[in-house]
Structure 1
Amino acid sequence: TIYELISKSKFTTKFAKLVDDHPSVVDLLNSTSANYTLFVPVDKAFEDIPDDHKKPSKEFIENALLYHIAKGEYPARKILHSYTLPTAYDEELLGGEPQRLRSSVGLGGVKLNFYSKVIAADIAAKNGIIHAVNHILVPPPYVGRIITLFPDRFSTLLLAYEKTEFVKFIHGVNLKGSTVFVPTNEAFNWLGPKANAFLFNTDKGRKYLKAILKYNIVPNATLYTDAFYDERDTKQQTEPAEELKSEHYDLPTLLGDAHISVDIARIFGFASIKVNGYSRVVVPNGVAKNGVIQVVNRVPLPPHKGHRHHHSDNVGGIEVKDLMSRLADYV
């Protein structure tokens, strides 16, 4: 079994020792009633932890161990065509759904959650597969915390949160998962200097800025490229993601009755995501404790009343009058 293999290996002694302290995890990795994929950190991965580090709680360690276990069999060839993988760690803030690992393939090979690299693949076990990784996988933090870690990409958005006291607002919203469309600094630049001066430097504009921030969050529905956790009262019926060439989602936002539309197109195992027909997701599936981050290259705005989409990709930005008319009903 997976458990027996990691217990005998001289490369995974530290992870195996932690597993031994958690009988339920031992049972899972020994169980033959279902197949699993373990991403096991090699002993060298534990060298990053400082000696004087305060020991985390038993519950935290157990959750972290479960986060290394994907539900189902994921040989390397299947990971190449996966965007996210469901783990054995069920996240309460996603409505009790499995927290996911983000997988990506680049010149350096397969990486999980941007930082942990697969260094040995496809070790077969009776109840699944083992891949060795070079960094410990930690369950992800909150959406807001992740955004603050990248000020070089998201400083304009962070300023928008500050100017509108958005953090105070969002803390009062009860969410079971969320999809957060996160505009880069360049996405705000695209609005143009007039619109930005209005939004950031006038009292009136800040109300519109707050409306945009609300519009960029889908509550209680967590949409990954290859999975959809729908915790809303009125669920949207969709087929399993793998089967389809493309999907269309029409999702409610935190901005009144304004909906945001998402199209996922698939071709030869690759997928691209567009929001409202013009904003491209440039970094998909940033997994977070309370949802998923989809980084976009244009600020998503509600379409004009009576128009489903706004296809404008013009460089000159948006007129303040146009911006105000799109958001008039919500401010």
Structure 2
Amino acid sequence: MLRVLCFTLALHAVLGANLVEVLQASGKSTLVSLVQKAGLANALTQGTFTIFAPTNAAFDKLPADLLASLGSDVNALANVLKYHVVQGSVRKQDASNELQLDTLAGQKIRLNIYSHNDEVTVEGSRILDFDIQASNGYVHFIDKVMLQPEGSIVDIVAGSPELSTLLSKVQSADLVTALQTDALTLFAPTNQAFSQLGSTAVGSLAKDPQLLKEILLYHVVPSTEYSAGLHNKEYLTTMDIHQDRFRLNITGDSIQLKYGKVLSADISATNGVVHLIDHVLVPRRHLGSALLGKK
């Protein structure tokens, strides 16, 4: 089936099919209907573009109320669709890890290459098929609809009520600027995670700014690690001064790390990605120490 699809799309390219015609030939009916509804079909034939095109299944993953909202707001719909379009031709061979591309929506999208499991993502969405050529550009099919980030990692933490404790700790440790540098992953403990740490440990962190900074940076990885690029038994090196590592255990869609798990993965930020976790990570050398209320 895939070979037939690829042959059909290649034939359309040879015959001079434009981007919209290639999308129509691909059977991606949801995307085509939304492009037409947003009044973008004609614009996509007037110039050279690269489209990161969500499949029908990708649109099916969206919450029904969000899809309905987009369907009733043409401007919002057009903005989301423009976020999937880059001016010019961008092929797989042009991709590099952490490359950012300007979209027609005015915001950048980030490419990541994970060589260990042969995945390439754009804003965390897997690219399923590359380099479908049209007469005026290229189409890459992706497995998720991309939504514009709501700011930097710090903005996401500040905007989430369940991360208010983490925000106060980041501010106390003077790490706001550090978390606004580019290409970071934050494993963000929720308020409940800090509560489970215990009053003794929380008190230790409050009394020792350097220790607090070290613990917080143990939750930050200096690269953009979306879930599609993570693999079982992988060790991630963190930003704390000792460059400590922690290991991931992945079963299906479940991501375990140390003695807890990821609650919500792949929250895109303008400078990386955030994963919410249900516990506070503690480097091995502090296990059994006064930090955890032990002698």
Shorter-chain TM range is 0.5 to 0.7
Aligned partner (choices 163, 176, 181) of residue 172 of structure 2: 163
* Paired residue type of 2:170: Y
Q: How many angstroms apart in 2 are the aligned matches of 1:132 and 1:292?
A: 15
Q: How many angstroms apart in 2 are the aligned matches of 1:187 and 1:322?
A: 14
1:182 to partner: Cα distance: 0.2
Gaps of 5+ in 1: 30-34, 73-87, 104-126, 229-240, 242-246, 311-317, 326-331
1:187 to partner: Cα distance: 0.7
Q: How does 1:1-331 map to 2 (within 5 A)?
A: 3-4=20-21, 5=24, 9=33, 12-16=36-40, 19-20=43-44, 23-25=47-49, 28=50, 36-37=53-54, 45=70, 47-48=72-73, 64-66=83-85, 90=101, 98-101=121-124, 137-139=147-149, 141-151=151-161, 153-171=162-180, 174-175=181-182, 177-200=183-206, 202=207, 205-219=208-222, 221-227=223-229, 247-266=232-251, 270-275=252-257, 277-304=258-285, 320-322=290-292
TM normalised by structure 2 equals 0.59
Coordinate RMSD, CA, aligned = 4.6
Distance 1:158 1:9, change over 3 A: closer
1:319 to partner: Cα distance: 6.4
- Residue 81 of structure 1 corresponds to which residue in structure 2? none
Q: Any idea what the Cα deviations from partners look like across 1:158-209, whole Å, max 9, x if unmatched?
A: 11112222113444xx54x222110000110111112213323x3xx22211
Matched pairs, number: 229
Which is helix-richer, 1 or 2? 2
TM normalised by structure 1 equals 0.54
Q: How many angstroms apart in 1 are the aligned matches of 2:144 and 2:224?
A: 29
Which is strand-richer, 1 or 2? 1
Q: How many angstroms apart in 1 are the aligned matches of 2:291 and 2:144?
A: 55
Distance 1:17 1:256, change over 3 A: same
Q: How many angstroms apart in 2 are the aligned matches of 1:252 and 1:287?
A: 20
Gaps of 5+ in 2: 1-16, 60-65, 93-98, 103-107, 114-120, 127-138
